[in-house]
Structure 1
Amino acid sequence: MREIKILAVVVVLTLITYWGVEPFAHSQMHPHVDPANYDFAQADKVSAKEQVDEKKEALEKAEAQAKATGNEKLTHIPKSEYNEAVKFEKTINDFWASNKEALSLTGNATNGATLVQANCTACHSIKKEGFPPVMDDASSAAAYGVVPPDLSTAGKLYSKEYLVGFIKEPTLASKVSHKFVDGRVHPMPSYSWMQPQEIADMVAYLQSIAPDKMTDKEVFQNACQRCHGIKYGDMLGGTMAAHTPETNIKAYMGKVPPDLSQYIRSRGAQYLHEFINDPQKHLESTAMPRVGLTKDSEEKVISYLEKVGDSKKAQREELGPKFLIYLVIFAIFAWLWKASKWRDVH
């Protein structure tokens, strides 16, 4: 009977830890954020409003404290941050609203080919169309801070909404406008001077040359490898070095982007979905841009990271129930054995 009581105590404490303490600790270390949202205009509207509300609350607290202490200086920084949040909310909402006309238009891929080749191939390669890189990776990184992507797959990786937004104003579409201030310029220029029809034509061309299908690995290589490497290789062996040299990417991003070999294990699929969709949700003011992947492309990136960093997941999950059944059977036999040996003693 004593063993049953001890077992009950252990089970209760384990359940409290698993269902109470651990989730609480996780919520403190990783506060809840909104799930991945691929409607970027709506997502930015919500996040901008949340920022305004947060800064307003901080300002109200500062004003109350200033009133109590008579120190008006306490409100200077909160007031400035609140005004900036209000200003940005208007900027981002106006930006996405200005893209609606281009999104509503049917693009002309033929005209778009002319526009893309005239405006983009000075920096970007389009290998599928016979436009090789203008420079090697090291030279491109030295010139731009990061290696520009090849555009052959852009129409597959990114939604029309994101492509229109990025062509028009890359800092706002990728949510890194906070990084390019005080005269610092994004390597991708703004094409806000273009007519909506011209932007729609460019997007139509990029979509027309995009492949119908891409493997998980191909999506990762095209979407992530410019900055991130894979040190430990995938199931088939081999590693991936980031295209942009560490010296250049550190200067451009502020730090060297992490190797992603084991990120599926250390962060988990849900975190990665939220982070890739909008890095600002988890790391406010991070230099990591919103990549702008479609839901399908993002799922392929996660799938590839699982193949690299958690290739035994299916086998592990299949073994789990079997192991628990074994433990239960073993515990029963152990208790019966102990009871038979100690029966006479008691």
Structure 2
Amino acid sequence: MKRWIATGLAALGMLLGASLGAHAAGTNFPMDKAPRLGTDQAALQHGAKIFVNYCLSCHSASFVRYNRLTELGLTEKQIKENLMFTTDKVGDQMVAAISPQQAKAWFGAQPPDLSLVARSRAGAGYSGADYLYTLLRGYYRDPNRPTGWNNVVFHNIGMPHPLWELQGERKPVFEKVTSHGHETEVFRGWEVVKPGKLSEAEYDRLVADLVAYLEWMGEPGKNDRIRLGVWVMIFLGLFAIVAWRLNAAYWKDVK
């Protein structure tokens, strides 16, 4: 119970931190629409692989057990061989490799649990998936930050860019605009400083797969619920027709 409460508080703190960061920056950065890949099994499997390789070293997903990934079409053997540390068991929770003591020494605080991050980051006019998709494509080099990285979505973010070798290094291009006597900076695009291992399109697709997996973790039963809901609506529709005809037959001789 204590672990659930602590994780919830961490997610809330992460959300508040993002809001305060955006307020301090004085801008409302526009969110890009994340591709909807919640029913794409191959994308979810790839996203799980990216999560394990690039996120799980620091961030836990303690509300999810490895064997839950069988719902993505993976066998327990595939999970053991490709997505787990050798000391873990397939029924274990997805816990970060880093210890809380190491995390505090390196980052100043323990990285938050990501089990519900996609659900906690939804805002007015955008989903949590949109937020994460834009965030992971919004990093840029900033020598004034302790990690050497900053982010146009989450100003003064504490997390360094986990995928920088794949994306490369970019610099945001801002244009100063004066409106009603106030000068503001408007984001106009990106300038490539150093190319990464992937092209822009390849990197965007990789992030989309990762975000789809993060969204799935927050609600693994969503697709099953939708499928069941469709059948329930079909049943109710057919039942309404039967009830209507039964009602007509019952009252036809009543004057």
Shorter-normalised TM-score: what interval?
0.3 to 0.5
Normalised by the length of structure 2, the TM-score is: 0.41
Normalised by the length of structure 1, the TM-score is: 0.32
Name the one with the larger strand percent.
2
